[in-house]
Structure formats: C-alpha cells, structure tokens
Amino acid sequence: MSCSVKRTVEVLRVDRHGLRRAPDEVAVEHPLTVSVADVEVATLLCSPSHVEDLVVGFLFSEGFIGGPEEVVSLHHDPDAARVAVELEGPLPSARRVVTSGCGARGTLRAEGLPRRVEAELVVGVSELVEAMTELHRSGRLFEATGAVHSAGLARGGRVLLVREDVGRHNAVDKVVGAALRSGLEPGQLVLLSSGRLSSEMVLKAARLGAPVVASRAAPTDLAVELAERLGVTLIGFLRGLKMNLYANPERIRGEK
C-alpha cells in the first residue's frame, strides 16, 4: 500500500471555456487501525504522514498514556494499515470526554478533565500574526489539494513544527505527539490550527499544557466554556491583524 499523501485523478473541469478533462490532485484519506497490547482501540481516518506522531498524540490525548516514555514499542505496518503499540503497563481504561461531531460522544465530568493550565506565558499580537501567517504558508499539501487542515506549535512568533491531515483533530494530535517526542516545553507554546475550535481541541491543548490556542476559524460555545475553566487562552478568527479573544485574554499583549 502506498503511503503517498496525495494522488492524481482525472476530473471534468468546467470553466468559462467550457468542459475539458484534466488531472487534479486529491488528498489521500487513509484508515489506520491502532492496537494496544493486541487490543484494537481505534481506526483513524487520516493522512498517511507522521504516523508515529499521530499515534503518540492520539494515545496521550485520549488518556491511554501519560507521556511518550510509557510507549515501549510502536510498529507501523503500512501494507496492513495498522500500528501496534506496546505499553509499559497494562492497557488502561481510557476516558474519552469529547463531544464534537468528529469525536466520541460523552459527558464532561470534572474528574475527567485535565488540570488547569497555569503557565504565565505572554504573547504579543504581532507574534500571533507572524505565526499564523507562517502556518498558512507552510501548508504544502493544502496548497496542492485544498483538502487538509494544518496545525502547528509556535514560540515567540516562530513556528517550530507543522503537521497536516485530512482531519483537524488528527493534525492537532500529530503536533501534540511531535511535541511530546521532541521534549518541547508546552508552557511556552502556542497551539495553532486552521480549523474550527471545538471542545476537543481545547482538551487536547490543556492536557498537553499549551496555554494559548489560536485559529483562523471560530470556536464553539463549549470550547469557550472549557477554555475559561481550564485556563486556556482561546483565540478565533486570527486573520491578519484581526482576532477575537474568547477566554483568558490576559496572556495577549497588545502593541501600539
């Protein structure tokens, strides 16, 4: 099985010149089954890139692991579209508390929420603008296909890493996994996303310990509520010099 993130299809293109057949690049949507200790825990529909980052980020976000050090081995078999993971201890009973349309349904109980983020990070408006601009420019697969989301982690206005995926949750899990595996200090990071900010996005950021989440798109009401509750600074509609601060705005420094 190919692990290409895009492929070429033939389309019938309609424009002011009429109808014509032409090649077009589309993003690959790849079912990836994740098993832990020989137990299938999920099948993710994803872009087949940075698979180890995705799996580590997913397992961390869903509560299967508390950190990458708990992963003893991770074997990706692209031909079988499977990833087999072995953990240090027994398979835990993961608690899924997400309620977005792309996630599992559940209830948001206090005992299932991550700890409040207390990082004292302060970010300038210009740093946010620079970082979001860089994220947008880094979206090579989006530029080719128009069919994926981007997520990134930034510090001081500089984007440290970018991941793309057909799923916005997967893109965030990929950067979470990359941050964990590379040992980045989460309290100094801004989590960037090109997609809608659902409650699940806020939970992923809070569990990582990232104090600021920003997107070009809008948040949901539950995302705003959770961000307030969990101490996450939530920013939507970050486009050019304009943005909306929805929760915990004290971390954002205005500039004259």
Contact between 222 and 99 (Cβ < 8 Å): yes
| Each residue's pLDDT tens digit, 112-137 | 789 999 999 999 999 999 999 999 99
Do 72 and 191 belong together in one domain? Answer: no
Domain that includes residue 101, residue range: 30-112
Do 138 and 225 belong together in one domain? Answer: yes
Known catalytic residues are 102
pTM to 2 decimals? 0.90
Amino acid 109: pLDDT: 58
Distances (CA, A) of 114 to 31, 44, 62: 29, 23, 11
Do 108 and 128 belong together in one domain? Answer: no
For residue 17, being part of any structural domain is answered with no
Do 139 and 189 belong together in one domain? Answer: yes
Do 48 and 96 belong together in one domain? Answer: yes
Closest CA to 36 of 93, 79, 80: 93
Q: Which two tokens stand for residue 245?
A: 């601060």
Amino acid 107: pLDDT: 43
Amino acid 209 reads G
Q: Where are the beta strands (DSSP E) in 60-200?
A: 71-77, 82-87, 123-124, 149-155, 158-165, 190-193
Do 72 and 174 belong together in one domain? Answer: no
For residue 40, being part of any structural domain is answered with yes
For residue 236, being part of any structural domain is answered with yes
Q: Which residues of the chain have pLDDT under 50?
A: 1-2, 95-107
For residue 200, being part of any structural domain is answered with yes
The number of domains in the chain is 2
Contact between 152 and 131 (Cβ < 8 Å): yes
Distance CA 136, CA 216 (A): 10
Do 148 and 169 belong together in one domain? Answer: yes
For residue 20, being part of any structural domain is answered with no
For residue 176, being part of any structural domain is answered with yes
Do 232 and 147 belong together in one domain? Answer: yes
| Each residue's pLDDT tens digit, 77-91 | 999 999 999 999 887
Distance CA 34, CA 173 (A): 14
In a 13 Å sphere around the CA of 1, the CA atoms on its Cβ side amount to 15
Amino acid 93: pLDDT: 63
Assign residue 156 a region: left if phi > 0, alpha if psi is -120 to 50, beta otherwise?
left
Amino acid 95: pLDDT: 43
Distances (CA, A) of 180 to 70, 103, 177, 186, 210: 11, 22, 5, 9, 12
Do 143 and 219 belong together in one domain? Answer: yes
Do 173 and 244 belong together in one domain? Answer: yes
Distances (CA, A) of 28 to 75, 83, 101: 21, 18, 21
Do 84 and 62 belong together in one domain? Answer: yes
Non-local CB neighbours of 254 within 8 Å, separated by 6+ positions: 125
Contact between 120 and 218 (Cβ < 8 Å): no
Amino acid 159: pLDDT: 97
Amino acid 104: pLDDT: 39
Instruction: Specify which residues 136 forms β-bridges with.
Output: none
Do 69 and 129 belong together in one domain? Answer: no
- Write down which residue in 78, 112, 146 finishes a domain: 112
Distance CA 169, CA 200 (A): 8
